[in-house]
Amino acid sequence: MTRIVVDSTCDLPESRMRELGIEMVPLQVHFGDEAFRDKIDLDEDAFFKRLEKATQLPTTSQPSPGDFEEVYGRIPEGEPIVSIHIAHQLSGTIQSAKLAADAMPGREIHIIDSGNTTWAAGLLALEAAEAVQAGKDLNEVITHVEGLVPRVRLLAVLDTLKYVVMGGRVSRVQGAIGGLLRVKPMLLLVDGVIERMPPARTWGQAGQKIVQDIEAHGGADRIAVIHAKAPEAGQTMKKTLEDSLGVDGILEGTIGPVIGTHSGPGAVGVAYIAKQAG
C-alpha cells in the first residue's frame, strides 16, 4: 500500500495523521541555542508561550536528509512513498527529502512540492491519504495530488507583519505598510509565491476578501480555517465562510510552531482547494 509522508509544517493534527497512516518529518525550531523538533519536543501551546517571552525571535531550520532517511526507512520496503512538502521557495525541506530519496535507490519515493504550507499542504496530504484508502494505486494518487497543487490556496490574515518581516519572508519596505492605521495585513500563498493582498481593517473585511477569492475561483472543494492562538477570530472566520458561501464541513485547525514563527500569534488562515486554478 502507498504511504504518505509529510513534514511538520503541514500542521495536520497528530490523531488525524495516525488514523490515516501519514508519517511526519519534523523541522527544527531554535530559541537561541536551544533546538526543538517541531511538534515532537515542542507543542503549539509551549511554543507560543515561549514566543511571547522571547527577547529574540526563534528561527527555524529544515530537517536533515538523515531525518528523512530515518522516516522513509521506518516504512516497510515494498511500500511506495508519496512525500508531500512545504514549497521549495519557502524552505529547503524538499531538498533534504530529495537527497534522502537519492540515497535510497532501492525505494520507490515520489516527492511532491505542494507549492504551499501549513494546512494547504495538509489538505493535499489528506487527499492523498484518502485516495490511498479508496484503493487508488500509486500513479493515480500522484496524478490526483499533482493535479491539485495549482488549485490549493492559502490566505492569511495577520495581526502584524512584524514576524513575517523579521523572518525574512517579506521585505521591510512592504512591512512598513499600514503601521499607523493598525491594519490587518493579508497574504496569499499559491504556487510557492507569497503575494501581499490589500490589507483589511476589520475581521469582517478580511472574511469578505477571502470569500471573494474563493468565489473568484469557482468555489472550493475543501476548506480549512486555521489560527495561531486566535480561536475566536478563527470561529468568526469559519462562520463568515459558512454564511457567505453556504457551505458546511469546513475543517478547523491550528498553525504550528514553524509557520507560527513567521505568522506570529493572532493570525488566521484559510486553506482551500479551489475548483478552478488561477
Q: Which stretch binds other proteins (CB under 8 A): 6-14, 73-81, 196-204, 258-266?
A: 196-204
Strand order in the sheet with 59-61: 34-37, 28-31, 59-61
| Using rule CB under 8 A, residue 218 touches other proteins | no
Applying CB under 8 A, which of residues 49, 74, 201, 239 lies at the interface with other proteins? 201
Q: Shortest approach of other proteins to residue 111 CB, angstroms? A: 20
Choose between 40 and 193: whose C-beta lies nearer to other proteins.
193
Would you call 99 exposed, middle or buried from its count of C-beta atoms within 10 A (0-12, 13-18, 19+)? middle
Copy the grid coordinates of residue 13. Answer: 493534527
Residue with cell 483589511: 200
Q: Which stretch binds other proteins (CB under 8 A): 45-53, 98-106, 165-173, 249-257?
A: 165-173
Q: Shortest approach of other proteins to residue 195 CB, angstroms? A: 4
Q: Which stretch binds other proteins (CB under 8 A): 69-77, 171-179, 222-230, 267-275?
A: 171-179
Q: Shortest approach of other proteins to residue 174 CB, angstroms? A: 5
Q: Shortest approach of other proteins to residue 264 CB, angstroms? A: 16
Task: Tell me the number of residues near other proteins by CB under 8 A.
Answer: 30
| Using rule CB under 8 A, residue 70 touches other proteins | no
Copy the grid coordinates of residue 22. Answer: 501519514
| Using rule CB under 8 A, residue 176 touches other proteins | yes
Dihedral, CA of residue 270, residue 188, residue 46 and residue 114, to nearest 10: 90
Q: How far is Cα 87 from Cα 225, in angstroms, rounded to an integer?
A: 20
| Using rule CB under 8 A, residue 156 touches other proteins | no
Q: Which stretch binds other proteins (CB under 8 A): 61-69, 125-133, 179-187, 263-271?
A: 179-187
Choose between 66 and 278: whose C-beta lies nearer to other proteins.
278
Q: Shortest approach of other proteins to residue 108 CB, angstroms? A: 32
Q: Which stretch binds other proteins (CB under 8 A): 59-67, 187-195, 222-230, 254-262?
A: 187-195
Q: Shortest approach of other proteins to residue 154 CB, angstroms? A: 13
| Using rule CB under 8 A, residue 170 touches other proteins | yes
Q: How far is Cα 215 from Cα 3, in angstroms, rounded to an integer?
A: 34
Applying CB under 8 A, which of residues 192, 211, 235, 266 lies at the interface with other proteins? 192
| Using rule CB under 8 A, residue 64 touches other proteins | no
Binding site for other proteins (CB under 8 A): 89, 169-171, 173-174, 176-183, 187-188, 192-205
